[in-house]
Structures are given as C-alpha cells and as structure tokens.
C-alpha cells in the first residue's frame, strides 16, 4: 500500500492510497469469504459456494465488501492521526489493476496563541467604583425613605402611581387588570411612563407598542391613585433615619464604602478572569479549513431537519433562508472550536494539570451551592463523570486565567471605559417601576 499527499488545506489533508493487484486480490479474498458466509445459493452448502459464482451473482456486494476491507487498511494507517471527523473515501477506483482510494482526513486544527505578556486587560479603578457605589446607594436609600402623599391633579415625573394594567396581543391577554405601583422616573422613556404624564386619577390610557420581534402589544392602563414623593435631604438626620446605629452622614458613607470595597475585592478577580479568557479566545488564530466547518454544519443541519418543528424555528430565525441558517451554524462551530482548542492549547503550553485531590476538594463548595451534604457532593464527584469533568474544566480554566493574570499587562480604567455586552431590551410586560 502506497500513500501520497494530494492536498493540504489547513487541518484537512487529502491522501491518495494506491493498492497493487496482489493487495486488491487479498482484499477481495476476504470479501468473498464474508459473502460466502452470509449468502445462500441453491445447490450449495452455506460457505461452500464457488468463487466464480459469487463474483457473477453478487458483483456490487463484492465491490462494497472489498472497499470496506481496503478502508480498514487505510484507517489502520491513520490511527496515529488526531482525527476529529469520520474518514470516508471521496474518490474510488476498483476497476483497474490494483485499487485507488482518495480520502479527506480532518485533523484536530492547530491554534496559534499570542504570548500572555502581550495581553492587555482593563481593571476598573477601585476608587471610581467605590465613589459611584456610595452615591448610587445614597440615592437608593433616598428613594426607599421618600415621603409619599396622595395628590390631586395631573401626574408628574417622579410621582408614584398605582394603576390597573392590561396587556394583550392578537386577542390573547398577557396581563389581566393587574394592580401595579411604579415611579414615573424622568429618565424612563417607556410608554407606560410617558403616556401617564398629565393624566389624572380615574383616567384610562390606551396605546400600542411594537417590539423588536415585530409583535404589537395593546396596553390599557387605568390610573387608580397618584402620589407625590418628597425625597429626604442627605444629612446626618437622614443617616439616623436609615439606621439608628449611624450618628452622622459620614458614618453612613463609611459603612456603604466598606460594603462596596468588600464587593469589589470579591468580584474583581472574577471580572479579570472572564476578561482573560475572552482575550485568549479573541486573539487566538484557529487553523481550520472551511471543509471541516461545512462537514460539521451539514451534519448538524441534517439532524435539525429530522425534527420538523426545530427546523421550521431555525428557518424562521433566518428569514426562511436555509443558506443563511447554514452559514450561522458554521459560525457557531468556528467559535465553539476556537474556545475549546484555544483553552486546550494554553493548558498544553503551560503544563496546567488538575489532580483528583483538587477536584474532590471542591465538594464543600458544591455542597453549599446545591444544598446537599459534603459527603453527598463527594459521592457525586466520584460516580458522575459529567460532574467530575465539569468541575475539572472549571479548575483548569481558573488555573490558566491565573497564569494569564501573572504575565499580562493590567491597566486601571474608569468604569465608563470598560466595554460590556449588556444591552437594554424592551419587554412587553416590564412593569417594574425602577
């Protein structure tokens, strides 16, 4: 058997396998024995059918069995390769003397990482965080201790309203005359706020709103009561109102600042770890062929098609365009594989290991999180491979991010300089006043 490299496309290698006539006849001999063992021919005992009759009566079966035998030789030759997809022949020639098979081998793709020393992470400046937290907390306490009084006349911004709200769409009632209280904050531009300004108790307001998903909702709001709110002045007296243990506003500020400092110290490492993983993945380069992504996407799409409802939902999400859906699946696999292989390569390069002892030591945390005994948590770690692997993966991720944090550059920035993925979205029945 001779192997030649026909083409290399990133992680996909195309091999040509050439078998001489003797090797082909040997494969046919094995195939004929299988056929003889399995078929029945009148006038002959099972397994005793002459070869020329088998060749004449079962030519396609012989070809298929011969191909299978030759492919077993190919797969044996490839067993040292790190292959991520099944190997199939893409070109077959069994007619000439000898045989020729061409296969595509989808190897595990390589990934190139930037040195950790070149990573740049942003750490939110602690003083800025504490200052903002203190001011926001004081405003929150002002809101909580506002003096509320019933009022006559039209609704104004910052009033507290009690309403009866109904929300419906296409003859379906989502919220039926539910009594709700909320504040008409000036910076809240939702219609449930803006449409009430200038209206009086007893009036009914109706309007429609179309959301990003294209659905239109009908709102009917009956104003039951209007209340004016007077916020207390932030002072020593205010501090005493919040809690009798505070004699001065300074004491209240110091208590809030201490709370904020503890939260910052607890959360900042998680923030930096998440950012480190994001930078690791974003700056890595996955050497993967489009052929691999297409194979993965095709397999996933065929599986989705087996469930009609799931397939219809997928098409609807992409304008009933299967090509768009297919490209989206490819993007998903590209990102998913990039995450998996970038982390794995970082672990390999840095010799990161997690011992059984380290994994079992997590039982106490798991017990607390799941509300079970430590012994029960240990038992789950021992007997549930999926839980064991999940804990192991988290520990590996922690170790690799800590290694990144040891080597990378970290810059202190103001909170507004940090990009987040958070985005406000309208919700049909979002009636939380704040």
The model scores a pTM over 0.75: no
Contact 136, 123 (CB under 8 A): no
pLDDT surpasses 60 at 6: yes
Q: Give 163's pLDDT tier (boundaries 50, 70, 90).
A: very high
**Res 429: pLDDT:** 36
pLDDT tens for 200-222 read 999 999 999 998 878 899 999 99
Mean pLDDT of 396-404: 94
State the pLDDT at residue 277: 95
Local confidence band at 426 (pLDDT 50, 70, 90 cut-offs):
very low
Predicted confidence at residue 82, as pLDDT, reads 94
Answer for the pair 66, 78: CB distance below 8 angstroms, yes or no: no
Per-residue pLDDT of 319-330, as tens digits, reads 999 999 999 999
Residue 301 has pLDDT above 80, yes or no: yes
Average pLDDT over residues 61-82: 94
Residue 235 has pLDDT above 60, yes or no: yes
- Sorting pLDDT into bands at 50, 70 and 90, what band is 419? low
**Under 8 Å between Cβ of 286 and 342:** yes
- pLDDT band, very low/low/confident/very high, at 430 (cuts 50, 70, 90): very low
Of 219, 233, 104, the C-alpha closest to 169 is: 219
Summary mean pLDDT of the chain: 91
Superfamily (CATH) of domain 2-108: Trigger factor ribosome-binding domain (3.30.70.1050)
Rg of the Cα atoms in the chain:
34
User: Over 50: is that where the pLDDT of 23 sits?
Assistant: yes
Longest dimension (CA), the chain: 111
Give tens-digit pLDDT for 252-300. Answer: 999 999 999 999 998 999 999 999 999 999 999 999 999 999 999 999 9
Domain residues of the chain, as ranges?
2-108, 147-230
Task: Look at residue 108 in the predicted model and tell me its pLDDT.
Answer: 95
| Residue 155 confidence (pLDDT) above 70 | yes
Cα–Cα distance for residue pair 170/419, rounded to 1 Å: 39
Residue-level pLDDT at 421:
47
d(CA 2, CA 260): 70
Q: Rounded CA gap, 64 and 66, in Å?
A: 5
Task: Convert the pLDDT of each residue in 343-370 to its tens digit.
Answer: 999 999 999 999 999 999 999 989 999 9
Domain 147-230 architecture = Roll (3.10)
Residue 179 has pLDDT above 70, yes or no: yes
């Amino acid at each position: 058997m001779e192997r030649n490299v026909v083409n290399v496309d990133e992680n996909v290698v195309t091999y040509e396998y050439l078998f001489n006539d003797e090797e082909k006849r040997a494969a046919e001999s094995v195939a004929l024995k299988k056929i003889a063992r399995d078929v029945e021919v009148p006038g002959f005992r099972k397994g005793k059918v002459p070869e020329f009759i088998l060749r004449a009566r079962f030519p396609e079966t012989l070809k298929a069995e011969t191909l299978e035998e030759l492919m077993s030789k190919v797969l044996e030759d490839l067993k040292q390769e790190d292959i991520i997809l099944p190997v199939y022949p893409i070109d077959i020639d069994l007619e000439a003397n000898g045989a020729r098979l061409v296969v595509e081998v989808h190897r595990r793709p390589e990934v190139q990482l930037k040195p950790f020393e070149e990573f740049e992470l942003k750490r939110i400046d602690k003083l800025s965080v504490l200052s903002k937290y203190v001011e926001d907390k004081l405003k929150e306490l002002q809101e909580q201790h506002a003096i509320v009084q019933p009022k006559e006349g039209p609704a104004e911004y910052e009033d507290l309203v009690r309403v009866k709200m109904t929300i419906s769409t296409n003859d379906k009632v989502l919220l039926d005359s539910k009594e709700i209280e909320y504040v008409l904050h000036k910076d809240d531009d939702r219609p449930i706020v803006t449409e009430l300004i200038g209206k009086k108790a007893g009036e009914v307001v109706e309007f429609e709103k179309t959301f990003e998903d294209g659905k239109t909702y009908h709102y009917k709001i009956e104003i039951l009561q209007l209340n004016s709110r007077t916020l207390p002045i932030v002072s020593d007296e205010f501090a005493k109102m919040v809690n009798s243990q505070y004699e001065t506003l300074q004491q209240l500020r110091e208590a809030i600042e201490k709370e904020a400092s503890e939260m910052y110290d607890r959360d900042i490492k998680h923030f930096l770890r998440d950012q480190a993983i994001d930078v690791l993945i974003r700056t890595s380069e996955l050497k993967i062929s489009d052929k691999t992504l297409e194979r993965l996407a095709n397999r996933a799409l065929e599986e989705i098609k087996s469930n009609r409802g799931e397939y219809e939902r997928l098409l609807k999400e992409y304008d009933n365009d299967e090509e768009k859906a297919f490209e989206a699946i490819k993007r998903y696999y590209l990102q998913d594989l990039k995450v998996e292989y970038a982390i794995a390569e970082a672990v390999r390069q840095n010799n990161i290991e997690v011992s059984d002892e380290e994994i079992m030591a997590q039982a106490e945390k798991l017990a607390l999180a799941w509300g079970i005994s430590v012994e029960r948590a240990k038992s789950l770690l021992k007997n549930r491979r999926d839980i064991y692997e999940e804990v192991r993966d988290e520990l590996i991720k922690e170790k690799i991010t800590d290694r990144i944090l040891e080597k990378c550059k970290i810059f202190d920035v103001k909170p507004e300089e940090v990009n987040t993925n958070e985005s406000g979205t309208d919700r049909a029945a979002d009636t939380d006043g704040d």
